Amino acid sequence: MSAGPRPGGRAPVEGAVTLGIDVGGTKILGIALDGAGRVRAQAKAATPRWIPPEPTADHGGEVVVDAVGGVADELLAALGSEASAVARVGVGVPGLVDGAGVLRYAPNLPGGEGLDVVGRLAERLGPRRVVVGNDATCAGLGEWTMGAASGATDAVIVTLGTGIGGGLVVGGKVAGGAHGFAGEIGHMVVDPSGPSCPCGKRGCWERFASGSGLGRLAREAAHAGRLDAVLRRRGGDPEAVRAEDVTSAAAAGDAGARVVLDELGWWLALGLANLANILDPSVFVLGGGLSGSLALVLEPVRTAFDSLVEGGRGRPEVTICLAALGERAGAVGAGLLAAGGDRALGLTA
């Protein structure tokens, strides 16, 4: 009955080429996706930084709309004579977009709140049809349709970067929630007396298990004298220690760095266990900017997960694996969304 994506198959993109553009906190990645699910062109740009003195939709909107438009232009140029047949553009944005296509909450796009994303992009990219969704939900749609969650009726795609985003597949459908806001798993509070989060709360999961969480755990370990080798390379200043210092030291065999990665793994497993208790997925797919470091923590995560999930080893095994589409997952999913991959999620103009 549904024309939506079927897990396990190739992308059910109808008609000609569709553009998918993933707006991240640091970069904008666009692809042109053909009807067989092949990436025909790719373009990148830095996400413009704007912190207006008094944030307004007009002010913040223009720079991002221009940047997304620039990426779309580059993709269309690469497509040559096929460009005129591109009728749909999907865009994933890091925030909550309401039913009218307005960005309601976007801590990683300062000044972006209140922006009429669909309206402004439709002006810039028209007459093409523009569909906007949450970036992590797009990544989930991509991994479920063409990646590591193919074939699952219940899956959670976790994007680990500066923060943590989520794409949920529930009962064979991508879950958008009542208002399209589902999947904000990084702001699940796991320790109400924990560190402050930019969202205004304390102890959100992403304060512990994301890239910035790893940096915080690393600096705590450095202060406590548990990361001496790393600390020496940073001139002895614990506040100068970064997440990537820990992953590279751990890869080189540094025992203290491995302990910090195990801590990251424990916090990651804690949130996954919470999600397993709530949603009972058969698979967790881990992706995002931190995924390069995740191979090192996958085993500690699996062990801690078994000890933290309700029913433990009495449950059927839950697969915890790395994303298959890499950094393209969000853009691929945005393209699928625009192609009609999941109408329930899309806000169109």
Residues that bind a second copy (CB under 8 A): 1, 96, 98, 104-105, 113, 152-154, 166, 168, 170-171, 173, 175-185, 187-193, 199-201, 270, 273-275, 277-282, 308, 310-312, 314-316, 344
Least distance (Å) between residue 284 CB and a second copy: 11
Cβ-contact 256, 227 below 8 angstroms: yes
CB of 145 to a second copy, least distance (A): 16
Minimum distance between the CB of residue 180 and a second copy, rounded to whole angstroms? 7
Smaller CB separation from a second copy, 28 or 266 = 266
Strand intervals (E) in the chain: 18-23, 27-33, 39-46, 88-93, 96-97, 103-105, 129-134, 155-160, 164-170, 173-174, 283-287, 319-322, 347-348
Q: How far is the CB of 144 from a second copy (least distance, A)?
A: 13
For residue 234, what are the CA distances in angstroms to 15, 211, 213, 230, 252?
54, 18, 19, 7, 16
Minimum separation from the CB atom of position 94 to a second copy (A): 12
* 167 closest CA partner among 175, 20, 272, 106: 175
Q: Which is nearer to a second copy, 30 or 288 (CB)?
A: 288
Which is nearer to a second copy, 75 or 152 (by Cβ)? 152
Alpha-carbon distance 189 to 207, whole Å? 9
- Residues 6 or more apart from 199 whose CB is under 8 A from it? 107, 187
CB 337 within 8 A of CB 5: no
Query: Cα separation of 311 and 205, whole Å?
Result: 22
Q: How far is the CB of 107 from a second copy (least distance, A)?
A: 9
33 or 139, CB closer to a second copy?
139
- Give the nearer residue to a second copy in terms of CB position, either 6 or 173: 173
Cβ proximity to a second copy, 113 vs 262, nearer residue? 113
